[in-house]
Structure 1
Amino acid sequence: MTVENEIELTAISGRRSTFEGDPRPGDTLPSMKDSPAVEAGSTMTMTPGLEASRDQLQLQENEEHSIEVLPPVDGGRQAWLFLLGATYMEMLIWGLPFSIGILHVYWTNTLFEGEGASAITLAATLQTGLLYMSCAFFGPMFAALPRWTKTLQVAGLVIGSASVIASAFVTKPWHLIVTIGIFYPMSCACYFPCATLLFEWWHASRGFASGMMYAGTGAGGTIFPFLMQGLLQRFGYKAAMVSLGVGYVVTGLVALIPIKRRIPLSRYDQDGISRIRPRIDWAFSKRKALYLGIMVIGMTSLGNFVPSLWLPSYVDDLGLNKPNGVALVAILNAATALGNGLLGWLSDRMSLRSTILISCVGSAAACAFLWGFGKNSGVLVTFAIIFGLLGPSFSAVWSKIIHLVSKDDPAVTALTFSIFAFVRGVGNMSSGPISESLLKYDTMRGVIGAYGYKNYGILLIYTSITILTGGAAGLFFNKIRDV
């Protein structure tokens, strides 16, 4: 073999070195001419059939390419720093959408009292829905432009921060649609690579790692409502939004530092310009796991957002003050933070079908029985804890489904995640109008508990059925290879 032979990283084409830094005994190692950078300290073993002359060895030593060992997978300082930064980014980006109820009340009752109620509601709805659905735009972009990942993340963070600051100076309700409703979801560019690059840093403990990362969403939903309420009461609306926007960009830039690739991109020199043209294996679009994942995520998303949307109204209608609606949703979100870690840990140790069933059956049963027959604080707090542990935390199971679809191909991983996030966004935006329509029909008056109280009964049945339907679709994962 001559020095003109090209070397191709098996980390990218064969995925073996995604989890291994050194070559296996007996592997044939081509020469280093035109090779991409690998990481430092790697031990290179020549097979008996590959003998290099002294001149060839000297030429290899003079190569400008550095040779490095890939950082360890499933642990090590860099892997844990990546997970810490990704978790904080989840908390930062999703904290505001989870506290939007506090802002919605302020916009409606104080800032724009008596006007623009529909525009304000639309802005709040668009923020969360588009934050999910914009993944359909950013997924293909990150897959096609992997070298621009960090630049796009910083741009998304700056746009999101600017939209928060701009919302402090709105003078018309429709201004909120533009700032909070449309531009803030561009911050999706910050957290999207966190979910996809995690596949490079974690393998055997991927479910646990993804659960911990998504726990940041629950943590944001627990912290931000009280943070936002405190800022509004102490400093006023403008100061609260400006300080929040500045805090976004400053802390976000710090969190982005450890969020990087574990495996270096291949480099191909074309006309003196270093480029990369990733090839997408479109065979993933024919895999059953993709469509089962869409069905499971779509159906569960139609139901999982209902409790956080209507539980505060139910508590207010009952006249309960301890805890009130805001505190109850905060409890649910705190349980979601723990639930993500729990379901992620279970997905590493159980079959995918079993993990889906635990999540769907448990959350649907909690909705049907605990909320369904709950008319006091104790039962509703218990419901918030159990539902939070098993319902909204279903996203921790995504990593295993995505693995079945993408086979750890980086470009396909990004596309698959974008598809699933888009489906979840559709479920999120659809659950509001559907549930509002169901509340108009008083079909269960006189029944025990919430089933007979102001039309909530039909809403609970809808929530339980959609989540159970998602669990039933998950049963079919047993018929395909899910490990």
Structure 2
Amino acid sequence: MSHPTLKHENPGWPIDGGHRAWLSTFGAWWAMFITFGWVNSLGVFQSYYEQNLLQNYSSSEIAWIASVQQCLTYSAGILLGKVFDDYGPRWLLIVGGSAQVFGLMMTSISTEYYQVFLSQAICSALGASAVMYGTVGSLATWWKARRATAYGIAISGSSIGGVIFPIMVNRLMPRVGFGWTMRAVAFTILVGALIATATIRSNRGHAPTPFKIASYFTPLREMKFAPLCLAMTGQALGMSLELSIYSIVILNAASVFGRIIPGFLADQFGRFNMMMVCTTMSAILTLAVWLPGRSNAASLCFSAFFGFFSGCYISLTPALVVEVSPPSEIGHRTGMLYFCISIGVLAGSPIAGALVEANGGDYTYLKIFAGVTMLNGAMLIGALRFYINYSAKKDVAVLDDGLVNKE
């Protein structure tokens, strides 16, 4: 199935293959492994901090460490995206990788709450964010027809990281203690950062442009970009509600396939179409399997299938941004979209806690709210998809009329 040709598409820069493109994709896999893969594993520290290092602090205070780290990894892109557009990925990868490793090394010697917060939630998060935005922007410059497939392959690294890091931490902590566990994680991330820095390149030129506040509002007036931000924010909220209480390892393992297979199918049948289908399936699973389910079998079934379909949300999001963005603003607009997503991510855990508490410890309200929120996101994606198709057909009709009049 052919995709509608958008005005923003530039046929001059993506080459859709070759060793340089695949090498950048390989580096992107490692970048996603050390950034999103690590961020997806932060829940493993909650119980350790509560029982050991930060036992004098409440669970909610400790939860802010992981929440802020995850939120900042997304939201810092509102500035870092423009850095990519102006200067390319090189310095983002170098400085970002260094900051992430430095932050975790400082966490390994931290003994106070503020030290853990500054090193883990702030320093390492900003570093991970820089690596992520340098990677996501670069990958778009190498691929067009197989763009969603490339993103799916690269972002599957975050799923693998989300499986490996929790197991690694749980195995090392009793044997070598917190300090050396964090150092081992930092050294692992250092290896990934070096590989990413050595292999990721951009396939277009970059030149600094003046910083304008107005540039953050202009895209939000576009009928192709603003609904995308709204839909992705709603989906992020719904999914973060579910991830706040479910087995991260199982979901990450299932999402490995959910990030690669839908990406390949999206290049064949349409990226907006696949996002709409996967988000709808995630909502249906929530309302039809998770909501009434009471047995362990139902929980495992939900974890596996939800992990698969929700993986599409992560892998296709940057591909959708490229669909509705000019090449010179890919980093900037990706950062804007993820900033919106960070609102849903940050709000997820507090809303989940409030819904469970309001229902006397039962998860029914949470399940309903999460399912309906994701269903709304799917409908917005569907409406945006039809609007894009309508606009493309209208542009073609105008072009045809112009050619006829000239004749």
Q: TM-score range by the shorter chain?
A: 0.7 to 0.9
1:143 lines up with 2:85 in the alignment = yes
1:403 lines up with 2:311 in the alignment = no
Residue 75 (structure 1) aligns with: 17
Residue identity in the other structure for 2:11: R
1:388 lines up with 2:304 in the alignment = no
Shift of 1:413: 0.7
Contact persistence 1:294–1:423 (CA under 8 A): yes
SS at match of 1:289: coil
1:244 lines up with 2:193 in the alignment = no
Residue identity in the other structure for 2:274: T
1:307 lines up with 2:242 in the alignment = yes
1:17 lines up with 2:12 in the alignment = yes
For 1:214-245, what per-residue CA distance to the aligned partner results, in whole angstroms no more than 9, with x for missing partners?
11111111111101111112211111112221
1:191 lines up with 2:132 in the alignment = yes
Q: Describe how 1:259-298 pairs up with structure 2 within 5 A.
A: 259-265=200-206, 276-278=207-209, 284-298=219-233
Shift of 1:116: 5.0
Residue 99 (structure 1) aligns with: 41
1:365 lines up with 2:275 in the alignment = no
For 1:126-146, what per-residue CA distance to the aligned partner results, in whole angstroms no more than 9, with x for missing partners?
111111111112112222333
Residue 175 (structure 2) aligns with: 234
1:442 lines up with 2:359 in the alignment = yes
Task: Describe the shift of the 1:152–1:193 C-alpha distance in structure 2 as closer, same or farther (beyond 3 A).
Answer: closer
1:164 lines up with 2:104 in the alignment = yes
Residue identity in the other structure for 2:134: P
Instruction: Select 1:478's aligned residue among 367, 383, 386.
Output: 386
Task: Describe the shift of the 1:354–1:15 C-alpha distance in structure 2 as closer, same or farther (beyond 3 A).
Answer: closer
Residue identity in the other structure for 1:215: S
Shift of 1:262: 2.3
Contact persistence 1:168–1:242 (CA under 8 A): yes
**Alignment partners' CA distance in 1, 2:75 and 2:156:** 20
Shift of 1:106: 0.8
SS at match of 1:288: coil
Residue 421 (structure 1) aligns with: 338
Contact persistence 2:93–2:193 (CA under 8 A): no
Higher Cα radius of gyration: 1
Instruction: Select 1:182's aligned residue among 99, 114, 122.
Output: 122
1:465 lines up with 2:375 in the alignment = no
**Alignment partners' CA distance in 1, 2:382 and 2:205:** 38
Alignment: residue pair count? 378
**Alignment partners' CA distance in 2, 1:254 and 1:82:** 10
Residue identity in the other structure for 1:293: L
**Alignment partners' CA distance in 2, 1:356 and 1:95:** 21
Shift of 1:357: 2.5
Residue range with higher mean Cα deviation, 330-339 or 93-102: 93-102
Q: TM-score, normalised by structure 2?
A: 0.87
Residue 329 (structure 1) aligns with: 248
Q: Describe how 1:59-74 pairs up with structure 2 within 5 A.
A: 73-74=15-16
SS at match of 1:310: coil
Residue range with higher mean Cα deviation, 92-101 or 190-199: 92-101
Residue 153 (structure 1) aligns with: 93
**Alignment partners' CA distance in 2, 1:140 and 1:353:** 25
SS at match of 2:90: helix
Shift of 1:112: 2.5
Contact persistence 2:33–2:192 (CA under 8 A): no
Residue identity in the other structure for 1:159: A
For 1:73-114, what per-residue CA distance to the aligned partner results, in whole angstroms no more than 9, with x for missing partners?
222222111111101110111233222121111111122224
Shift of 1:430: 0.6
**Alignment partners' CA distance in 1, 2:283 and 2:219:** 31
**Alignment partners' CA distance in 1, 2:233 and 2:182:** 33
**Alignment partners' CA distance in 1, 2:38 and 2:388:** 39
**Alignment partners' CA distance in 2, 1:346 and 1:404:** 16
Q: TM-score, normalised by structure 1?
A: 0.74
Contact persistence 1:119–1:177 (CA under 8 A): no
Residue identity in the other structure for 2:125: P
Shift of 1:460: 0.2
Residue 257 (structure 1) aligns with: 198
Shift of 1:352: 4.1
**Alignment partners' CA distance in 1, 2:117 and 2:332:** 28
Residue 378 (structure 1) aligns with: 297
Residue 66 (structure 2) aligns with: 124
**Alignment partners' CA distance in 2, 1:277 and 1:207:** 28
Residue identity in the other structure for 1:210: Y
- Identical positions, percent: 21
Shift of 1:405: 2.0
**Alignment partners' CA distance in 2, 1:353 and 1:194:** 22
**Alignment partners' CA distance in 2, 1:216 and 1:421:** 19
Residue 210 (structure 1) aligns with: 151
**Alignment partners' CA distance in 2, 1:84 and 1:14:** 24
Q: Describe how 1:342-353 pairs up with structure 2 within 5 A.
A: 342-353=261-272
**Alignment partners' CA distance in 2, 1:14 and 1:423:** 24
SS at match of 2:224: helix
Contact persistence 1:435–1:459 (CA under 8 A): yes
**Superposition RMSD in Å:** 2.2
**Alignment partners' CA distance in 2, 1:352 and 1:89:** 23
Task: Describe the shift of the 1:277–1:117 C-alpha distance in structure 2 as closer, same or farther (beyond 3 A).
Answer: closer
Contact persistence 1:91–1:220 (CA under 8 A): yes
Shift of 1:287: 2.4
Shift of 1:338: 1.2
Residue 58 (structure 1) aligns with: none
Structure 1 residues not aligned, in runs of 5+: 1-12, 20-72, 266-275, 312-327, 444-453
Task: Describe the shift of the 1:181–1:391 C-alpha distance in structure 2 as closer, same or farther (beyond 3 A).
Answer: same
Structure 2 residues not aligned, in runs of 5+: 1-7, 393-407
Q: Which one has more relative contact order, counting CA pairs under 8 Å at least 6 apart?
A: 2
SS at match of 1:201: coil
1:220 lines up with 2:161 in the alignment = yes
Shift of 1:463: 0.4
